[in-house]
Chain A
Amino acid sequence: MERFALAAALALAAGTAAGADAARGEQLYARCAACHALEYDRVGPRHCDLLGRRAGSVPGFDYSPAMKQSKLVWSTETLNRFLADPLKAVPGTTMTYAGVDDPKERADLIAYLGSKKCPITSRK
C-alpha cells in the first residue's frame, strides 16, 4: 500500500497520472494532427513544453480571447478537465472539439504531451 502511495506521489510530482501510458498517448495524438503539432504552431498552438505553461501564452499565436483570459496553467489536472470537454472548460475556445470521453485515454495523452520538450531552437 505504501509502495503504491509512493508511486502515485512520484507520478503526480512528474506531472503524470499513475498508470498513464505515454506510448499509447502518442498513438492517440494522431487524432490531434488536423490542428496541432508538437514543435510548431498550426491551427492550434504547439504542444511541446506544455505542462506548466500558462494557457494562451505561446508568443505569436492568435488565441481566442476566451483562452487568453482563462487564467489556466496547463497541468495534469487542468488538461484532464479541458480535454474532457474543451467548450465547457473554456467557453468560447476555438478548439471546437467534443472532447476525449475516456479518462484513461486522456491520462495517456497527457502523459505523452508531458514528455515532450521543445528543442532549443523552437523555444521563444
Chain B
Amino acid sequence: MSSFFSIPNPNAARRLFLGHSGLVLSGAAVALLAGRDVLAAKSGDAKAGDARILNTALGAELEAIAAYQVGAESGLLQKPVLALALQFQGHHKEHADLLAKTVRKLGGTPVAAKSKYSFPVEGLKVQADVLRFAASLEQGAVSAYLGAVPLFGNRDLSKAAASILGDEAMHWAILRNALGENPVPVAFVS
C-alpha cells in the first residue's frame, strides 16, 4: 500500500489522504448502523437525548452541504479546488444521511434542510474568501462534534461522532493549507 509520505505529487497525496478518511468514516458508519442491540438497550429518555444531539448535528451538516453548493456555484473556485470542495460536500452528505437514519432508528424525526439559508455571500469575492468561509464552518464543526462526543448516552454514537469529527478536522486542515496557513497549528482542538 502507498504511504502518504512517500508520494511526491501533492495532488496524489491528497487523493490518498482523502481516500483513507473515507475508509475510516465508512467503518464507523457500519459500526453505528450495526449497533441495534445497544440502541435497543437504552431507555426512552436516553434515546431522545441522543436523537436531539444527532439532530443538531444534522442541521449543521445540511447547512454545510448548502454552503459548499454556494461555493461551488459561485464561479470563484478554480478546477482542482472545486473538485476538492465537491468531495468535501459529498462527505457532509454522507454524514447527514447517516445522522438522519440514526435519528429515525432512535425513534426521532430527522430535521429537514431549510428552504433557504443565510450566507455572507456579499463577502465572497475571490477563491480565498470561499475557502476561508468553508474553513470557518469546518472549524466550528470540529468544535461542535467535540462538544457533543461526551454527551451521548450510547458510546457507539460517541465513536461515530468522533469519526465525523476527524473527517471535519481533515477538511479544515486542507482548507487552511490551501489558504497558505499552517494546516495544523496546534496539538489539540477545542
The answer to whether B163 has its CB under 8 Å from any CB of chain A is no
Contact status of A43 and B63, CB under 8 A, knowing A94-B55, A95-B56, A97-B148: yes
CB distance from A34 to the nearest CB of B (A): 3
Which single residue of chain B is at the shortest CB-CB distance from A41?
B118
Size of B's binding interface in residues, CB under 8 A: 26
**Contact status A97-B140, CB under 8 Å:** no
Kindly list chain A residues whose C-beta atoms are within 8 Å of the C-beta of B166.
Answer: none
Contact with A along B144-155 (1 / 0, CB 8 A): 101111110000
A107 to B162 Cα, complex, angstroms: 28
Chain B residues 6-65 with CB under 8 Å of chain A are: 52-53, 55-57, 59-60, 63-64
Size class of the A contact interface (CB-based, 8 Å): 20 to 34
Majority DSSP secondary structure for residues of A touching B? loop
Known: A41-B118, A98-B148, A99-B147. A33 touches B139 (CB 8 A): yes
Please tell me if A30 contacts chain B, counting CB pairs below 8 Å. yes
Question: Is A42 a contact of B52 with CB atoms below 8 Å?
Answer: no
Q: Are B140's CB and A30's CB within 8 A? A: yes
What 0/1 pattern do residues 46 to 78 of A give for CB contact below 8 A with B? 000000000000000000000000000000000
B residues within 8 Å of A by Cβ? 52-53, 55-57, 59-60, 63-64, 117-118, 120, 136-137, 139-141, 143-144, 146-151, 190
A contact set with B: CB distance below 8 Å: 30-37, 40-43, 87, 92, 94-99
